[in-house]
Amino acid sequence: MLPYLTDEFANPSGAHTMARRSRAAIEEARDLVAAELGFGPHDIVFTSGGTESDNLAIAGVVAATGGGVVCPATEHHAVLHPVEGHGGHVVGVTSDGAVDLDALSDALSEEVALVSVMLVNNESGVIADLGAVRSVMDERAPNAVLHTDAVQGVNWVDVAAAVAPADLVSLSGHKFGGPKGVGVLAVRPGTPLSAQTLGGGQEAERRSGTHNTGGIVALAHALVELGASRDTELSRLRSLRDRLADGLIDAIPDCSETVPRQGRAAGLLQLVIGGLESEALLVLLEKGDVMASAASSCASGAMDPSHVLAAMGVDRVAAAGSLRLSLGWCTEPWEIDQALEVIPSAVRQLRTPAMMGRR
C-alpha cells in the first residue's frame, strides 16, 4: 500500500496518467477480492469498514424496497443498531448461540426485505449455518435478501463457500491483516440497494467518496494471503486454542467455555469465570503481557455487559466474568504457555478479598 500513500497520490477518479495508475490498482484489488469471496468484480463495493458496510446493506435495502428487516440478538452493534433504527425485528438465539430458526421463521413474512446473520460471532465464535437460514427464508420470506457480517468470519471458514447463500457480505480490512478504515460490501447482481452516501458516484453509484487507494490495495492482498494460508493456519490455531482452553479450565475452578467447541471458530475462546469481574482481570493480564478482551468495548473504552451472552441466557453476574481470548496468525506456542501461567494466577489474586469488614 505504501506507494499509494506516497508517490502515487493521485485521485483514482481523475483523468490523467497518474490517476489511471491508481484506478488500475483498485480494479486489480476488486478482481482479487471478488475471486476470494465468490462474487463478480462488479459486485464489490469498497467502503470505509465493516460498520459502514453493515449500515449500507441494511439502510440501502430498506430504502430500495420499503420492506422490514430481521436479525438475531447476537449481531454486532453495527447490525443491531441499524436494524433497531429501522424498526426491525430482533429474534432470539439458542443457549449455544445459534440462530433460533423457529423464532426466525416466526418473525419472517413476505414483507421482510432483509435478514442479517453474522457468519462468525465475534464474541462466542459460533459459526452460523447460512444455508439453513436461507432455507427458512425461502419458505417464509421469499422476497428477502440475506446479508452476512463476515467481518470476523472471513478468518475462520472457507469464505466463498460459507457466504454462497448470502446476497450481501460485509468485510473489514483490519480483521485480517489489512489496515483500519477500509472495508467491503459484496452485493449479488439484482440485489435492491440504494446508495446511502451521495456525491461523486464512485463504486457504480453505490458508495460515493474518493477511494482509499492504499487501503483498498492492502485489503485485497491481505485477503489473498489469508485465503492461501487459511487451512494450515486453522489446524495450527485449533490445537493451540484447545491447549489454552483445556489448560485454563483445568487450572481455574469454576471456569467454563460459553459454547461447545464444535461449530466454533478455531482460534476463538470465550470463557466465563465465576466470582470475578473480568474488567479487573484484564488489568492484571495486561501487566502479564496478555492482551485480552471481555465483552465488546464501548465508545468510552469501558466494558459493557455482553449482549451476546445475555441473548444466550447467561445472567449478568456470570457475564461480568467473561473473558475473550483470540488467537491469530502471529500467535506462537510460547504465548499460550505464558497465558496459561498469567491467567490462573491473576484469577487467584482477584478472588482473594482485600478490605476486611466491607459493607
Binding interface with other proteins (CB under 8 A): 277, 279-280, 283-284, 298-305, 316, 349-350, 352-359
Q: E-assigned strands of 59-210?
A: 68-72, 89-91, 112-116, 145-149, 168-172, 183-187
Catalytic residue among 71, 255, 298, 330: 298
Q: Answer for the pair 170, 51: CB distance below 8 angstroms, yes or no.
A: no
Decide: 253 and 271 in contact? Cβ < 8 Å.
Answer: no
Least spacing, CB of residue 313 vs other proteins, in Å: 18
Contact 1, 218 (CB under 8 A): yes
**Cβ closest to other proteins, residue 250 vs residue 279:** 279
Which residue carries 452516501 as its cell? Answer: 197
Residue 71 annotated to the active site: no
Closest separation between CB of residue 322 and other proteins, Å? 13
Burial of 88 (0-12, 13-18, 19+ CB in 10 A): buried
Nearer to other proteins, 84 or 96 (CB): 84
Min separation Cβ 342 and other proteins, Å = 14
> Nearer Cβ to other proteins, position 299 or 330?
299
Any bridge partners for residue 169, and if so which? 148, 186
Q: For 243-260, give the DSSP string.
A: HHHHHHHHHSSSEEESS-
Give the residue carrying C-alpha cell 471458514: 157
Minimum distance from residue 315 beta carbon to other proteins (Å): 12
Q: Nearer to other proteins by C-beta: 87 or 357? A: 357
Helix and strand numbers, DSSP H then E, in the chain: 13, 10
- Assess contact for 132 and 102: CB atoms under 8 A: no
| Least separation in angstroms between CB 299 and other proteins | 5
The H or E element containing residue 270 is strand 268-273
Residue 112 vs 292, nearer CB to other proteins: 292
- Active-site residues, by number, are 298
